[in-house]
Amino acid sequence: MRYAMPALILPLVDAATHWPQRGALVGLDLGTKTIGVAVSAPDRRLATGVETIARKAFKQDAARLLAIAAERKVVGFVLGLPINMDGSEGPRAQSTRAFARNLAGLTQLPIGLWDERLSTAAVERELIGMDVSRAKRAEVIDEHAAIFILQGALDRLANLRAAPGTD
C-alpha cells in the first residue's frame, strides 16, 4: 500500500522531533546482499539484533521490514548512511537514500539517517577480538552493524536530551 504522503526522511536529530518521546526504533544496515536489522526497546536505551534479511526484491525486503516494525510496534526507522571519510556521499550513500525514498512511500513512520562511517569495520574488529571465525562473522556482521548503528543513534539522542537547555 502506498501512502499519499510519504514518510519524512531526515537526518537523525531532525527525524527525532517527529517521533513520540517513547517508542521502539528499528535500525538498518543496508548491505548489497543483506539487510541487518536491530530494534530498541520503547525507552530507546539499548539496541538488540533482530535478524539479517537476505535481500531479494525491494517489495519483499520492505514487506519483511514493515512486518518487523508492526510486530515490534516501532515509531520510526534509523538507516545507516555510509558517508565517505571525507564527508562526501558515494554510490552506497545514494543507494541508501533511494532505499529510504522507496520505503517512505510504504510507511508513515519517519526515517532518520545516521552517519555510519566505519560501523562495519568496528564490528569486524570487535568480532575478531572475540575470536569469532570468519564464517560466523560473515553470518552476523550485518546484524551486528545494525546494532552498532542503532546504538550510536540512541546514544546521540540520549546526549541531546541530557544537554543543558534542552528538554
Q: How confident is the model at residue 120 (pLDDT cuts 50, 70, 90)?
A: low
What pTM did the predictor assign? Answer: 0.87
Long-range contacts of residues 115-121, Cβ cutoff 8 Å, at least 24 apart: 115/81, 115/83, 116/29, 116/80, 116/81, 116/82, 116/83, 116/145, 116/148, 116/149, 116/152, 117/82, 117/83, 117/84, 117/85, 119/29, 119/80, 119/145, 119/148, 119/149, 119/152, 120/29, 120/145
| Residue bearing the bigger pLDDT, 1 or 50 | 50
pLDDT number for residue 138: 66
State the average pLDDT over residues 144-149: 89
Among 4-18, 37-51, 129-143, the range scoring the smallest mean pLDDT is 129-143
- The share of the chain scoring above pLDDT 90, in percent, equals 63
3-state secondary structure of 166: coil
Strands 9-11 and 111-115 come out as parallel
Question: Is 146 in contact with 36 (CB distance < 8 Å)?
Answer: yes
| Residue bearing the bigger pLDDT, 81 or 1 | 81
Give me the sign of the Cα torsion angle 36, 42, 48, 49: negative
Q: How confident is the model at residue 3 (pLDDT cuts 50, 70, 90)?
A: low
Average per-residue pLDDT in the chain? 88
Give me the sign of the Cα torsion angle 75, 80, 86, 89: negative
Question: Is 116 in contact with 80 (CB distance < 8 Å)?
Answer: yes
Look at residue 6 and tell me whether its pLDDT is greater than 70: yes
- For residue 125, what is its C-alpha cell? 574488529
State the average pLDDT over residues 131-141: 70
Distance CA 83, CA 88 (A): 6
pLDDT number for residue 161: 79
Q: How confident is the model at residue 167 (pLDDT cuts 50, 70, 90)?
A: very low
